[in-house]
Amino acid sequence: MSCDEKVDCGRRRLLVTTAAIGGVGGAVVATPFIKSMLPSERAKAAGAPVEVDISKLQPGEMLTVEWRGKPVWIINRTDEQLASLKKTDGDVADPKSEKQMQPKYCQNETRSIKPNLFVAVGICTHLGCSPTEKFKTGAESGLGADWPGGFICPCHGSTFDIAGRVYKSKPAPDNLEIPPHVYLSETTILIGEDKKGA
Amino acid sequence: MAGSENKYKSDGTLIGGALEWVDARFPATSLWKEHLSEYYAPKNFNFWYFFGSLALLVLVLQIVTGIFLVMHFKPDASLNASGVPVAFASVEYIMRDVEWGWLIRYLHSTGASAFFVVVYLHMFRGLLYGSYRKPRELIWIFGLLIFLCLMGEAFFGYLLPWGQMSYWGAQVIVNLFSAIPLIGPDLSEWLRGDYVVGDATLNRFFSFHVIAMPLVLLGLVAAHIIALHEVGSNNPDGVEIKKHKDANGIPLDGIPFHPYYTMKDIVGVVVFLIVFSAIVFFMPEFGGYFLEFNNFIPADPLKTPPHIAPVWYFTPFYSVLRAVTSDFIPFLWLFIAAIGMICVRPSKLPLLVKLGYLGFVGAMFVLLGVPAVLAGWVGIKLTSIVFVGLEAKFWGVVAMGASVVIIGALPWLDHSPVKSIRYKGPIYKIVLALFVVAFFILGYLGVLAPTPMRTLVSQICTLIYFGFFLLMPWYSQIDKCKPEPERVTG
């Protein structure tokens, strides 16, 4: 701060201090306004776990339920679909699911607790669209003769295999997220919780 | 400014007396003179100079129709008794049950597209005649901020009808922010106000659309015009009319904005309104481009429509976003590095800086280019290492942002000795034509679903788009320009 003879330095200092304190006050007052835009208590409370009955889910079928406003898929995979995972190993970006897109108990070849039953959040890891199922294999799928069955995102064309693993060189950076889930019985899954009776 | 010569002296009539009374208390006459009757604009304005005043007209139209739409619209995502979201139902109510509601809504929805049409043409005028060049840099930057603001306004407004396109479009764009390292996911959650796009998002977008953005927009439009009237308008010849003034200090090639250009602009308004009305009354959906068909289905958070695309005015930039795939990143970086080399070489920077830059580019070639060409996967692995694990998604967002913001750098990229395309050489004419073609192709591809071929074309067009800007310091200097005239021509 320059301070020549014509300026009353004491007053100038007081002026700058007042302005600085006023600025701090302004910044502090902005806090409630910024914080008011965060998810409210009601929005936070709405994230309760969801119980799903899978007794009627036949092999090759898919069920979509809502959890925290997001679509969650439950797919009863056929043996052919599970066999296709071996073939896609070389074409997917993260074949061993090393990135933590799934709970520890789903970090395996099929990305699931039970090999056939696949539970995943149906939200593309690119920009949040919901991928479309393309279970038909080969040319019939419209995705080329060697398509082994999986998902394609309608927004930016990311493709995923039947375990939600993203193919290489696609916009989506990660495999589909596997939510925490637990089998309450042979035919009931609880989505959103790891432990029974929680 | 408000000198005594600008104060109105009453001629004895009642109205004259009233004006004198006002003028003694408010600079009415001097404002009128400064911005209209004594604002001297070049006499050679052509067709391209209609779009500034048309943009102002559409702004007024959007504000007026918006006021009346808000009287009936309900920003509420909850389901009504028939299981339809209240917001979606309220738009249908406006269309079917509110008297003349359909007209007001179609004026507003067509107005949004018309706004972008006139603004794009207005910006293209700047590219033709070098309107961004010194001393009009700030006008250009205010203009770019208006464009950004307009994009925000259009984006927030598009969520309000709460259709499938509204919902998934917002989902994609808000998730763009989650690509920012570290703070991204929290930032997009803060913007949404929930873990997914929901009622909280709809309400705040409504607030932004009707209050926040229009206020900022009006402020920026005022700044744009004040800056313009400070330095004076450019013209199709790109020469300064203020260089030649008569004895009264009035530019020889200038004519008062009012009545000359107010009259001319009214002709433009009439023609514009004929076209605009034809669309509003006969094809308000404009084949799915102005109002997308999927948006006639209420928002469903569990199901993305099989094909989603933004509205046409966002598609060129959206294509740039999609063009950045992980195998394209090495090429993008090499392209930028090579351009840098072309631009750095003839500059006045110290030799050491030049050599350092050369070394950097060389290292980039070895690290990225060679492996990327030899084997795609090595390139991908290396890019993720070199760029601290940041992925295609992040660079796609950066490229999209850059494709808009780079427009603001034009005043400093253009080193041509002349402003107007009339006197620029063949290089600029070819490059500008290429740029326009690339922009249209990007826009067209942004509407379509991606295929490998289309992605490749959009990548080439993305390079042309950025090349137009980044190579400008180089090609604008070597272009064979014609001499500018001293005064404006016809």
Q: What ranges in B198-350 are assigned the alpha helix state H?
A: 199-207, 213-231, 262-282, 315-323, 329-344
Peptide bond preceding B259 in cis form (omega within 30 of 0): yes
The ipTM value here is 0.78
pLDDT value of position B386: 44
| Residue of B111, B117, B122 lying closest to B59 (CA atoms) | B111
A196 pLDDT exceeds 90?
no
Determine whether the interchain pair B195/A68 forms a contact, defined as Cβ–Cβ distance below 8 Å: yes
Strands A132-134 and A117-121 turn out to be: unpaired
Q: Which residues of A161-182 are buried (b: 16+ CB within 10 A; e: fewer)?
A: bbbbbbbbbbbbbbbbbbbbbb
| All residues at 6 or more sequence positions from A188 whose CB lies less than 8 Å from its CB, including other chains | A51, A52, A53, A54
pLDDT value of position B377: 47
Instruction: Select A43-191's CATH number: 2.102.10.10, 3.40.605.10, 3.10.290.10, 3.40.50.2000.
Output: 2.102.10.10
B336: left (phi over 0), alpha (psi -120 to 50) or beta: alpha
Q: What are φ and ψ of residue B350, in 5° steps?
A: -60, 150
Determine whether the interchain pair A128/B450 forms a contact, defined as Cβ–Cβ distance below 8 Å: no
- Per-10-residue mean pLDDT of chain B, 490 residues long, equals 68 92 94 94 96 97 98 96 96 97 97 98 97 96 98 96 94 84 86 90 97 98 97 96 94 95 96 97 94 92 84 94 80 75 68 75 65 49 46 80 95 94 96 98 92 91 94 90 91
Determine whether the interchain pair A71/B301 forms a contact, defined as Cβ–Cβ distance below 8 Å: yes
B194 → closest Cβ in A43, A128, A129: A43
Determine whether the interchain pair B189/A39 forms a contact, defined as Cβ–Cβ distance below 8 Å: yes
Q: What are φ and ψ of residue B385, in 5° steps?
A: -75, -50
| Measured distance CA(B279)–CA(B301) in Å, rounded | 32
Determine whether the interchain pair B301/A129 forms a contact, defined as Cβ–Cβ distance below 8 Å: no
Interface of B with A (CB under 8 A): 168, 171-172, 174-176, 189-196, 198, 200, 204, 301-308, 322, 325-327, 376-377, 380, 391-393, 396, 449-451, 455
- Tens-digit pLDDT profile for residues A85-129: 888 888 888 888 888 889 989 999 899 999 999 999 999 888 888
The angle formed by the CA atoms of residues B181, B185 and B191, to the nearest 5 degrees, is 120
Cα dihedral across residues B44, B46, B50, B51: positive or negative: negative
* Percentage of the residues of chain A whose pLDDT score is greater than 70: 96
pLDDT value of position B375: 47
pLDDT value of position A3: 58
Q: If you ran DSSP here, which 8-state letter would residue B257 be given?
A: I
| Measured distance CA(B227)–CA(B139) in Å, rounded | 6
On whether the CB atoms of residues B431 and B468 are closer than 8 A, the answer is yes
Helical (H) or strand (E) element with A182: strand A181-185
| Measured distance CA(B274)–CA(B253) in Å, rounded | 32
Question: Cα torsion at B234, B240, B244, B247 (round to 10°)?
Answer: 50
The angle formed by the CA atoms of residues B330, B332 and B336, to the nearest 5 degrees, is 115
On whether the CB atoms of residues A121 and A176 are closer than 8 A, the answer is yes
Determine whether the interchain pair A69/B194 forms a contact, defined as Cβ–Cβ distance below 8 Å: yes
Q: The pTM is what?
A: 0.87
Q: If you ran DSSP here, which 8-state letter would residue B47 be given?
A: G
User: Most B CBs within 10 Å: which of A127, A141, A174, as the mutation test of the B interface?
Assistant: A127
B380 → closest Cβ in A37, A71, A169: A169
Banded pLDDT at A145 (limits 50, 70, 90): confident
For residue B28, the Cα-to-chain-centroid distance in whole angstroms is: 33
Which chain B residues are within 8 Å of A168, Cβ to Cβ?
A: 326, 377, 380
Banded pLDDT at A136 (limits 50, 70, 90): confident
A33-37, A146-150, B242-246: least confident range: A146-150
CB < 8 Å & 24+ apart, contacts of B92-99? B94/B69, B98/B72
pLDDT value of position B378: 46
| Measured distance CA(B177)–CA(B187) in Å, rounded | 7
Determine whether the interchain pair A155/B327 forms a contact, defined as Cβ–Cβ distance below 8 Å: no
Confirm or reject contact between A48 and chain B (CB < 8 A).
Answer: no
Determine whether the interchain pair A129/B171 forms a contact, defined as Cβ–Cβ distance below 8 Å: yes
Kindly report the length of chain A.
Answer: 198
The size of the A-B interface in CB pairs under 8 A is 98
| Measured distance CA(B33)–CA(B216) in Å, rounded | 26
On whether the CB atoms of residues B64 and B210 are closer than 8 A, the answer is no
**Residue B170 neighbours by CB distance under 10 Å:** 23
